[in-house]
Amino acid sequence: MKLYYSPGACSLAPHIVLRETGLPFELVRVDLASHKLAQPDDYYSVNAKGSVPVLELDDGERLTEGPIIAQWICDRAERTDLMPAAGTMARYRVMEWQNYVTSELHKSYSPLFKRDFHEEGKAWFRRALRQRYEYVDARLQENEFLTGSSFTAADAYLFVVTNWAAHTGVDLQNLGALDSFMSRVRAREAVQQALVAEGLVKTA
């Protein structure tokens, strides 16, 4: 399997999940500014959407959309702790959070990375993110992780997007449960390995 990624991007979430499962995989780095691979190749030939992550399976089939890639990895590894069995309420709870992270958090960060997006709009998204993080923090006051006491693929995703807050000026002050969650997730061995592999921290 190959995971197409860009350092620190949302592709870090399935990367963490891959390391949590111990499945063998290869990383392929994509330059998102130019949409080129490390080898002189057009990334659009890999993913017409131009975005990471892409998981290329051993038979050459390519899967896109981070939350779904994470589900595929966990199902393949039979890791029902990371992604409960299909059809169970527990599975829907994890998917519910994945959808929240993708639609309410991830995509509200996107304009904050754009140089040509106006400041007034950016301020609106920063306020929206703060409000949504207050909701997330309240949930994390009840549980160690988003769906209870066990780390899941949704937690990996929340960790990755929340790491963008400092760089994009999103205010996470006085959200103590969220802060503890971030430290708890960062301390996981698989997370440290993924951060090192993407060049985001020096040593595990």
Ligand X SMILES: N[C@@H](CCC(=O)N[C@@H](CS)C(=O)NCC(=O)O)C(=O)O
Q: Compose the 77-106 pattern: x for residues touching ligand X by CB under 6 A, - for all others.
A: -------------------------x----
Minimal distance, residue 34 CB to ligand X, in Å: 10
Residue 32 near ligand X by CB under 6 A: yes
The DSSP element (H or E) to which 94 belongs, if any, is helix 89-100
Buried b (16+ CB within 10 A) or exposed e, 149-186: ebbbbbbbbbbbbbbbbeebebebeebebbeebbebbe
Instruction: Return the residue of 9, 83, 94, 190 that touches ligand X, per CB under 6 A.
Output: 9
Residue 144 near ligand X by CB under 6 A: no
Q: Which stretch binds ligand X (CB under 6 A): 18-26, 46-54, 131-139, 194-202?
A: 46-54
Residue 191 near ligand X by CB under 6 A: no
Residue 65 near ligand X by CB under 6 A: yes
Q: Which stretch binds ligand X (CB under 6 A): 51-59, 75-83, 130-138, 185-193?
A: 51-59
Rounded CA-CA distance 133/39 in Å is: 39
Number of Cβ within a 10 Å radius of residue 79: 18
| Under 8 Å between Cβ of 187 and 37 | no
Rounded CA-CA distance 75/82 in Å is: 9
DSSP letter (8 states) at residue 102: I
Q: Which stretch binds ligand X (CB under 6 A): 21-29, 47-55, 128-136, 177-185?
A: 47-55
Residue 44 near ligand X by CB under 6 A: no
Peptide bond into 53 cis (omega under 30): yes
Residue 10 near ligand X by CB under 6 A: yes
Minimal distance, residue 58 CB to ligand X, in Å: 21
Q: Is the Cβ of residue 69 or residue 140 nearer to ligand X in the bound state?
A: 69
Rounded CA-CA distance 105/134 in Å is: 12
Residue 66 near ligand X by CB under 6 A: yes
Longest pairwise C-alpha distance within the chain:
49
Q: How far is CA 156 from CA 34, 63, 83, 168, 169, in A?
A: 27, 19, 11, 20, 21
Closest-approach residue to ligand X (CB): 51
Chain residues binding ligand X by CB under 6 A are 9-10, 32, 50-53, 65-66, 102
